[in-house]
């Protein structure tokens, strides 16, 4: 996906430069009491207009959208902020500032960060870049009268020292945009076959090795949990796809395994979903798209460790061959499962995929899935739930969420939750028929299939779709997880 180019300058633009560009985003450090605004072109006029937005002494009004009083009547989105805004607050503000330019579809955009220390100016600029790039990313649009839009070609950044680079922002955006684009595609444009064709093109472009475990191969491996879900589809095109990135000069052989739920459409199976819950089920593959987007970002950044990406791709259809409640199924590792509800298909396909992914004893496994409605009921759509078999990971995951702006909340994983999954006929129940903590029970179920005591994190993507966007992302489909994971790996260094 084509991205804009970045030109960066530590100084501020002069009046001629302001007049040359028609579109600007300006963020000024909020002045303390009796403190004057920093001086920059048109600052007096902008300050007066900004003050008009202040009501009842409010010193932090909404963003100002205005035209410059020059020949081109340049469009400006401006805000004053305090330097200690949280990452989520900063990214959310950045999204609003970027929205001020969306109707114009500028080919060039100026960003000026004014009045901050060097380090904090880079933090503000990174949030603005993330929002601008997210807003510019191409999303699926099949309308006959689709508007031809100009794509952003150049971003001119001012007020940030050149020692602060933004390669990671561009890599994160590419991964997030890929995850959002794939997730937003309708099911007839992203069947398992079409999905694999898209991934094959990405693998060739990115230099990934690829291995596909087809239905026939999974039958030989007795991967009954995956096959139970896939058997309802009239097209036997599902399977488990393994991708591998290997750095040219690895610093370690410790491998990261990314695992993603890729249900291209989820009818609920025999336990058929009602209409209002059926809508949007083409997005039930978002976990696989986030895993793929994370792999893309790590590849672009030339991560110094190997990464394997395991994608469980199929559809959950209703039909004469579909699996049924009460079926006893044997998973790849020999575990017998009593089926309770055919709409709990995500944990079934992930069970065999996690068993395969953990066979090579990776340093860390992270799986992503739009797994449970219970997680949405528990924390809403502004956070995603996280679970782990390593208690020392809990504060690290929370910090990664806070620092990245993709916020997560950990849930308990105590063994006594397993009582709800006890079966009279098999080793484990797929889920409980009683309402309540299905997000926890789903995680407890999945943990059984993580072998060799591999450290493991499960991300239940309750924030995968949020009306109006989330943080810096302007679309309902958020691609949540790429930014969080890069912070977890590169800033929190969770694999060390």
Residues that are catalytic: 273, 347
Which residues contact residue 208 at a Cβ distance below 8 angstroms, ignoring those fewer than 6 apart?
202, 243, 244, 245, 295, 299, 309
Structure token pair of residue 491? 């800033």
Q: Are 445 and 347 in contact (CB under 8 A)?
A: yes
Distance CA(305)–CA(90), nearest Å, equals: 31
Residues in the chain: 496
Residue 32 neighbours by CB under 8 Å, 6+ apart: none
Residue written as token pair 């009593």: 338
Work out whether the CA dihedral 414, 420, 422, 426 comes out positive or negative. Answer: negative
Closest CA to 466 of 356, 355, 383: 383
- Cα separation, 232 vs 25, in Å, equals 51
Q: Do 113 and 147 contact (CB within 8 A), yes or no?
A: no
What's phi and psi for 66, nearest 5 deg? -150, 170
Spatial CA neighbour of 377 closest among 285, 420, 440, 290? 440
Residue 267's Cβ-side half-sphere holds a number of Cα atoms within 13 Å equal to 16
């Amino acid at each position: 996906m084509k991205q804009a180019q970045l030109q960066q300058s530590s100084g501020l633009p002069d009046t001629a430069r302001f007049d040359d560009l028609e579109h600007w985003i300006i963020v000024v450090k909020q002045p303390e009491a009796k403190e004057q605004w920093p001086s920059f072109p048109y600052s007096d006029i902008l300050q007066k207009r900004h003050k008009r937005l202040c009501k009842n002494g409010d010193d932090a009004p909404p963003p100002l959208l205005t035209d410059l009083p020059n020949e081109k009547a340049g469009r400006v989105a401006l805000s004053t902020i305090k330097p200690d805004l949280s990452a989520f607050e900063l990214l959310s503000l950045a999204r609003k500032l970027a929205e001020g330019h969306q109707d114009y579809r500028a080919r060039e955009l100026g960003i000026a960060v004014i009045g901050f220390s060097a380090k904090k100016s880079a933090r503000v600029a990174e949030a603005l870049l993330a929002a601008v790039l997210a807003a510019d990313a191409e999303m699926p649009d099949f309308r006959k009268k689709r508007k031809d839009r100009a794509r952003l070609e150049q971003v001119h950044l001012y007020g940030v020292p050149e020692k602060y680079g933004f390669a990671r922002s561009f890599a994160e955006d590419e991964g997030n945009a890929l995850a959002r684009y794939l997730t937003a595609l309708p099911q007839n444009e992203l069947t398992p076959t079409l999905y694999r064709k898209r991934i094959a093109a990405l693998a060739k472009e990115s230099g990934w090795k690829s291995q596909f475990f087809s239905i026939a191969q999974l039958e030989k491996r007795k991967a009954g949990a995956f096959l139970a879900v896939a058997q309802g589809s009239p097209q036997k095109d599902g399977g488990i796809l393994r991708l591998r990135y290997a750095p040219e000069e690895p610093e370690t052989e410790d491998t990261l395994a990314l695992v993603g739920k890729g249900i291209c459409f989820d009818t609920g199976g025999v336990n058929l979903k009602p209409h209002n819950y059926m809508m949007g089920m083409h997005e039930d593959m978002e976990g696989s798209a986030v895993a793929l987007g994370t792999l893309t970002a790590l590849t672009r950044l030339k991560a110094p460790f190997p990464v394997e990406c395991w994608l469980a791709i199929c559809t959950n259809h209703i039909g004469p061959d579909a699996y049924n409640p009460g079926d006893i199924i044997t998973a790849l590792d020999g575990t017998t499962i009593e089926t309770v509800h055919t709409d709990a298909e995500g944990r079934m396909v992930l069970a065999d995929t996690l068993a395969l992914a953990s066979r090579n004893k990776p340093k860390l496994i992270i799986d992503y899935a739009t797994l449970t409605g219970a997680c949405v009921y528990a924390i809403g759509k502004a956070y995603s739930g996280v679970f782990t078999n390593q208690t020392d990971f809990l504060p690290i995951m929370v910090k990664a969420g806070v620092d990245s702006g993709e916020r997560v909340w950990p849930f308990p994983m105590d063994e006594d939750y397993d009582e709800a999954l006890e079966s009279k006929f098999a080793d484990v129940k797929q889920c409980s028929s009683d309402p309540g903590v299905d997000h926890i029970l789903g995680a407890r179920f999945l943990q059984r299939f993580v072998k060799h005591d591999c450290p493991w994190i499960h991300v239940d993507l309750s924030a995968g779709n949020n009306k109006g966007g989330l943080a810096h992302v302007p679309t309902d489909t958020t691609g949540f997880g790429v930014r969080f994971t890069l912070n977890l790996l590169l800033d929190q260094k969770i694999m060390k």
